[in-house]
């Protein structure tokens, strides 16, 4: 069972980042109180990294026991492991390197995940030793299965954070491409309409395993995608509409991104 989406609008991108950071800290604290641990799936992009910086500067961040948080990613660019384009590098610089995380509970996609898992990876491929994005996707699916309940393919995440593309994509699931309807947990993405062309991404069924899915959007350039997501379109044409949580689905946006929504 999935939750109907609810829109929460904030004044501007700065307020949005701080509000989502506070909401995330609260969700992680609540998850740890209920289950002894918590998990989050991170997103990249301007607002995704801005909210991580806001977590870093929040006085409430110390309320989380960061050593008991699993950190995953929704997608990653299939580029060199030291590339500035990698979502995990940006997340580390913004927040993760400044937290007392357990390295064994941080799961980047690709090169670093293999090293963390104990693999002896030679740098012979495009992205940290992987000959192709399929190999990186398979490795990430194995990591997910290793943290899942018996018989399940993926864990039940506490929160999945998702940025919204101007075309309505989330993670690296683009409109009218095969990845939108994929059913395996993790996929390789080829010929991405947004560079770089090669990527690795969670699929919608994996995203839907979360307790809460949060789609985050800021700026006038996202207004069309936000409006399209609430126009009755389906995931094939607007993938963001498939980003739903089991307990809650939130669209956390600023006023500029909400500009084309019907007045209520």
The enclosing H or E element of 75 equals strand 75-77
Dihedral sign from CA coordinates of 129, 130, 136, 140: negative
β-pairing, 186-189 vs 199-202, is antiparallel
The enclosing H or E element of 5 equals strand 5-10
| Of 9, 35, 116, residue with least CA distance to 73 | 116
pLDDT at 169: 98
Q: What is the mean pLDDT of the chain?
A: 91
**Mean pLDDT to the nearest integer, 44-52:** 96
pLDDT at 131: 65
Q: Is the pLDDT of residue 125 over 90?
A: no
More confident residue, 111 or 120: 111
**Mean pLDDT to the nearest integer, 63-83:** 93
Of 1-5, 60-64, 65-69, 121-125, which range is least confident? 121-125
| Of 94, 90, 101, 92, residue with least CA distance to 64 | 101
pLDDT at 117: 38
For residue range 198-223, what is the model confidence (pLDDT) as tens digits?
A: 999 999 999 999 999 999 999 999 99
3-state helix vs strand vs coil in the chain, percent to 5 = 40, 20, 45
pLDDT at 130: 63
Give 119's pLDDT tier (boundaries 50, 70, 90): very low
**Mean pLDDT to the nearest integer, 133-149:** 94
Which residues are registered as beta bridge partners of 130? Answer: 127
Domain boundaries in the chain? Answer: 5-254
- The answer to whether the CB of 195 falls within 8 A of the CB of 201 is no
What distance in Å separates the CA atoms of residue 120 and residue 188, rounded to the nearest whole number? 22
- The answer to whether the CB of 170 falls within 8 A of the CB of 162 is yes
- The answer to whether the CB of 171 falls within 8 A of the CB of 185 is no
| Of 252, 254, 247, 253, residue with least CA distance to 30 | 247
For residue range 154-179, what is the model confidence (pLDDT) as tens digits?
A: 999 999 999 999 999 999 999 999 99
The enclosing H or E element of 223 equals helix 223-229
DSSP 8-state symbol, 149: P
DSSP 8-state symbol, 161: E
Rg of the chain over Cα atoms, rounded to whole angstroms, equals 17
Of 8-22, 37-51, 108-122, which range is least confident? 108-122
| Of 128, 132, 260, residue with least CA distance to 200 | 132
Q: Is the pLDDT of residue 248 over 80?
A: yes
| Of 170, 172, 257, 168, residue with least CA distance to 213 | 170
Classify domain 5-254 by CATH architecture. Answer: 3-Layer(aba) Sandwich (3.40)
């Amino acid at each position: 069972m999935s939750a109907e989406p609810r829109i929460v609008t904030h004044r501007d991108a700065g307020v949005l980042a701080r509000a989502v950071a506070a909401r995330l800290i609260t969700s992680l604290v609540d998850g740890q109180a209920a289950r002894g641990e918590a998990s989050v799936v991170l997103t990249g992009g301007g607002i995704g990294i801005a909210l991580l910086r806001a977590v870093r500067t929040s006085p409430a961040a110390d309320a989380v026991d960061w050593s008991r948080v699993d950190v995953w990613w929704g997608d990653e660019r299939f580029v060199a492991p030291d590339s500035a384009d990698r979502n995990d590098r940006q997340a580390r610089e913004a927040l993760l390197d400044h937290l007392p995380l357990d390295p064994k509970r941080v799961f980047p996609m690709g090169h670093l995940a293999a090293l963390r898992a104990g693999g002896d990876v030679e740098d012979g491929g495009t992205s940290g030793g992987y000959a192709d994005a399929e190999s990186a996707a398979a490795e990430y699916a194995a990591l997910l299965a290793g943290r899942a309940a018996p018989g399940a393919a993926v864990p039940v995440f506490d929160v999945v954070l998702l940025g919204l593309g101007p075309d309505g994509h989330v993670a690296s699931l683009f409109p009218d491409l095969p990845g939108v309807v994929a059913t395996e947990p993790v996929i390789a993405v080829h010929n991405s309409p947004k560079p770089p062309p090669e990527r690795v991404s969670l699929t919608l069924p994996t995203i839907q395993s979360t307790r809460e899915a949060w789609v985050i959007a800021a700026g006038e350039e996202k207004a069309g995608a936000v409006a399209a997501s609430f126009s009755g379109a389906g995931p094939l044409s607007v993938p963001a509409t498939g980003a739903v949580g089991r307990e809650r689905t939130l669209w956390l946006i600023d006023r500029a991104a909400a500009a084309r929504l019907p007045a209520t």
